[in-house]
């Protein structure tokens, strides 16, 4: 069997991209209406989408190469969490540091219980193996963008590479129906980080995965763009008080409304750390395009940024990611009419001029005003500006409390805003 860890893996791999329509994949049968926390079954359809999903499940069961698939947060790179060789394939494809742990994705609570109770002791005694601190979190936020830290049990069947030397592992149940159906078909928990090359911006489309991992993996499931756009929130309920290890799709305010979590603390830093990471995203530089990123903190005057751009004669091409207050550069004196350079929900304009001091080309992408729009478009915007070959990217920061007076749900708004700023601070080479 070919393996990503053999000499043959040095050769380019033919990467297939299989389209999957979530409305045509098959039929879900619930024991309780629309409740994925109770037992449920999935029957694939005979459509092309159903066949492609089956092909991905077969690859995950039989191949040592990981498979890329969509979740609601970002695209994941999945492998059988019980197979050391398969999980090693994730690290090889991503060129990921070996001490950076992975999140285990599950499709049911029974699957999680089998991981936590490998010897069947709890099942025999009729006792619950999921720590009770997580009961209300799970019932409120699963399936969804929340990962919980759990104790690695005695006799664990998880590949040691999953926990990367830690006595714990993180798990979550995604809400994306393609991800859930894929895991259910495999009947295997999937270890799955984001499906990008290590340190690069996370992928929110199949095209992003192809750009980074084409020739390194065999299969990409294309289920369309991700709806959240930033990774899951990671929490640790095993410590006192409980802690948030990574901000993501669930906000600290939402978590503090849950019994037992009122005193939850923030245990992450927006900079890198030398300590062994308890969860993904805690130690290493992440989310960075090739171009240098300059993050402007909220309320930094646009005039200050523009003066910096036009007086910097070291850059001939500059990218701008703007959201709420920075203007469209076509309105600046000397600008030109808008020109499309970004395909998707965001619009873009190009400024060509001498910058007052030197020949300058500026590409500007509008992510939108709503926090959810900004989160969905952030990684795609960074990648698009990289493809345009800019030397430096200036990003407009946003308030971590969300947009004042926003029509967005306050909790979702705050969660996305904190996650956006966390990712930007990790990506930035400079903050102004």
Q: Give binding residues for ATP as ranges.
A: 96, 100, 168, 194, 202, 246, 287
Listed residue (103, 33, 417) closest to 254, CA to CA: 417
* Contact assessment for residue 362 and residue 320, using Cβ atoms and an 8 Å cutoff: yes
Strands (E), 111-267: 146-151, 168-172, 190-191, 219-222, 233-236, 243-246, 265-266
Could you tell me which residues are annotated as the binding site? 73, 96, 100, 105, 168, 172, 192, 194, 202, 232, 246, 287
* Contact assessment for residue 189 and residue 105, using Cβ atoms and an 8 Å cutoff: yes
d(CA 215, CA 10): 10
Q: Count of residues for the chain?
A: 432
d(CA 230, CA 226): 9
Could you tell me which residues are annotated as the binding site for L-threonine? 73, 105, 172, 192, 232
d(CA 79, CA 63): 9
DSSP state of 217: B
Q: CA 66, 71, 73, 74 torsion: positive or negative?
A: positive
Listed residue (230, 193, 148, 172) closest to 412, CA to CA: 230
* Contact assessment for residue 67 and residue 222, using Cβ atoms and an 8 Å cutoff: no
- How many CA within 13 A on the CB side of residue 199? 12
d(CA 212, CA 210): 5
d(CA 39, CA 35): 8
Q: In Å, how far are 175, 207, 224 from 289, measured between CA atoms? A: 28, 16, 22
d(CA 208, CA 174): 20
* Contact assessment for residue 25 and residue 177, using Cβ atoms and an 8 Å cutoff: yes
Alpha-carbon torsion angle 167, 4, 284, 234, nearest 10: -50
């Amino acid at each position: 069997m070919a393996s990503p860890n053999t000499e043959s893996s040095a050769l380019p791999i033919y990467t297939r991209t299989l389209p999957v329509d979530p409305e045509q994949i098959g039929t879900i049968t619930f024991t309780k209406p629309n409740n994925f926390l109770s037992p449920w079954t999935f029957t694939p359809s005979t459509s092309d989408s159903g066949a492609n999903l089956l092909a991905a499940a077969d690859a995950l069961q039989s191949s040592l190469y990981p498979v890329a698939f969509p979740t609601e947060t970002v695209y994941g790179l999945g492998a059988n969490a019980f197979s050391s060789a398969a999980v090693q394939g994730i690290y090889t494809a991503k060129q990921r540091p070996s001490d950076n742990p992975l999140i285990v994705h599950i499709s049911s609570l029974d699957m999680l219980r089998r991981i936590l109770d490998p010897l069947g002791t709890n099942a025999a005694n009729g006792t619950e193996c999921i720590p009770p601190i997580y009961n209300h979190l799970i019932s409120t936020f699963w399936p969804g963008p929340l990962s919980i830290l759990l104790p690695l049990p005695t006799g664990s069947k998880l590949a040691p590479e999953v926990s990367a030397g830690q006595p714990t592992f993180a798990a979550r149940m995604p809400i994306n129906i393609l991800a859930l159906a894929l895991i259910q078909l495999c009947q295997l928990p999937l270890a799955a980080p984001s499906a990008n090359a290590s340190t690069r911006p996370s992928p929110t489309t199949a095209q992003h995965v192809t750009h980074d991992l084409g020739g390194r993996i065999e299969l990409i499931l294309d289920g369309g763009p991700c709806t959240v756009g930033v990774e899951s929130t990671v929490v640790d309920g095993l410590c006192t008080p409980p802690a948030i290890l990574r901000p993501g799709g669930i906000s600290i305010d939402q978590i503090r409304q849950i019994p037992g979590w009122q005193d939850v603390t923030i245990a992450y830093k927006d900079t890198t750390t030398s300590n062994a990471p308890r969860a993904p995203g805690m130690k290493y530089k992440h989310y960075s395009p090739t171009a240098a990123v300059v993050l402007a903190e909220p309320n930094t005057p646009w005039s200050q940024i523009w003066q910096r751009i036009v007086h910097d004669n070291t850059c001939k091409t500059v990218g701008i990611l703007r959201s709420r207050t920075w203007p469209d550069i076509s309105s600046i004196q000397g600008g030109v009419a808008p020109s499309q350079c970004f395909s998707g929900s965001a619009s873009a304009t190009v400024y060509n001029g001498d910058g007052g001091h030197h020949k300058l080309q500026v590409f500007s992408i509008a992510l939108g005003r709503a926090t959810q729009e900004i989160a969905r478009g952030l990684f795609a915007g960074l990648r698009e500006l990289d493809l345009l070959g800019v030397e430096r990217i200036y990003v407009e920061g946003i308030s971590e409390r969300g947009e004042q007076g926003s029509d967005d749900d306050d909790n979702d708004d705050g969660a996305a805003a904190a996650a956006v700023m966390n990712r930007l601070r990790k990506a930035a080479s400079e903050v102004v």
